[in-house]
Each structure stands twice: as structure tokens, then as C-alpha cells.
Amino acid sequence: MEYDLNLDKAVQIIKKEKAKVVCIQLPDGLKPMATEIASYLEKNTMAKIVIWLNSNWGACDVPLGLETVNVDLLINFGHNSFGFKNKISKKGYIEIDK
């Protein structure tokens, strides 16, 4: 099954936020594509992409400690924001279409 990952939307968010270090968070089913997604984003932006491979239980499961490794933008694929607060103030949520 193919998915539209809306990678162009992710590129727009990265550019709009002028992010230099971006963490992408993916559901388990997309993790095998993580390096391909990261390569696309790096090629189309000037950002360094960090891949979060730990658990991801939804938009409320924001990785802790990203600010300690200078991540200035988190992009969560497959979920919407529920308004939870954390120390990473810049977040983007990318819906995935079938």
C-alpha cells in the first residue's frame, strides 16, 4: 500500500520555521522508510534531519530531551496536535493519506 506522506508540506514547515536541526517522528509502519524520508527532507532544505526511532504512540508522545541535542523543530508524521505542551515549542504535524 502506498501512502502520500505530504513531504512537500514538511519541507514548507522546515523552511518557514528556518529550522537547522529537525527531528522526524514516524509511526512504526513508516520506520523502514525513515532514511529515505530524511534524505528527501535534507535534500530539499538546509536542515539536518534526526530520526526518532523510539516508540511513538501518537501526537501526545513527544520525545523528551530533544532540546538538549539542539533540535529546534519536531515533525510528527501521521498524527495531529492535541495541544500538549513541552519544551520543543516548534512542532509540525503531517497527516498521511492513502
- If you average pLDDT over every residue of the chain, what do you get? 78
Number of domains composing the chain: 1
Residue 48 within a domain = yes
Residue 42 within a domain = yes
Tell me, what's the pLDDT at 40? 97
Q: Convert the pLDDT of each residue in 42-66 to its tens digit.
A: 999 999 999 988 765 655 556 667 7
Task: Please give the residue range of the domain that contains residue 62.
Answer: 7-94
Q: Convert the pLDDT of each residue in 83-97 to its tens digit.
A: 444 444 555 655 655
CB 90 within 8 A of CB 22: no
Strand, helix or coil for residue 97:
strand
CA distances 9 to 45, 55, 60, 96, Å, are 12, 24, 21, 11
Question: What is the pLDDT averaged over residues 24-31?
Answer: 86
Residue 16 within a domain = yes
Residue 73 within a domain = yes
Tell me, what's the pLDDT at 85? 43
| CATH code for the domain in which residue 77 is found | 3.40.50.11840
Residue 80 within a domain = yes
Residue 2 within a domain = no
Contacts of residue 5, defined as CB under 8 A and 6 or more positions apart, other chains included, come to 30, 37, 77, 94, 96
Residue 30 within a domain = yes
| Residue scoring higher pLDDT (8 or 3) | 8
